[in-house]
Amino acid sequence: LGQIDKKDEPRALAYLLSAANDPNPSIRAKAIDTLGHMRATEATTPLVQRLFMRDTDDFTRRRILAALALIGDKRAVEPLLDFAEGKSAVDTRAGAVYALGEIGDRQALPSLKSIASGNDDPQLRAVAKAAIQRIEAQPLPTETPPALVDPRRSPPPGGGG
């Protein structure tokens, strides 16, 4: 399902999202992994919702966090910050911090710096420091302010704004 034509992608996504809730952990894990490898931004909201459900086990949460890191959708940043600062197991929270580093949104930096300096767990501090380094190493986005965009010209290659 993860290697289908674009025209069939909506149907495949529907099947994969359904399988991401399958009672069989193997099917559930494979579906979540496939959504991540497809970089299916359509899966961001359902995966985030599943992440916070009480009946979601830590194995599934870690798969969801890895998928969200691969998808890279900035809409996941706020929920991931909430999850990272929550009461879940440290290794699962570290997965959320790792995902934040992979997504690379600079808005996560203040919270990540707080985790890196104020958390009692050395593993979580280390992952937060690595996430901060990954985000800070990225070049700042170059975006043309809307007031300077000439609507008669096509955007430059790479979508510069």
CA-to-CA separations, 16 to 22, 37, 38, 87, in angstroms, rounded:
10, 12, 11, 29
pLDDT at 123 over 60: yes
Tell me the pLDDT tens digit for each residue of 47-99: 999 999 999 999 999 999 999 999 999 999 999 999 999 888 999 999 999 99
The pLDDT, as a whole number, for residue 132 is 96
Is the four-CA dihedral 118, 123, 128, 134 of positive or negative sign? positive
- Dist CA 38 CA 20 (whole Å): 14
The pLDDT, as a whole number, for residue 11 is 84
Beta carbons within 8 Å of 94's beta carbon, 6+ residues apart: 123, 124, 127
What is the overall mean pLDDT for the chain? 88
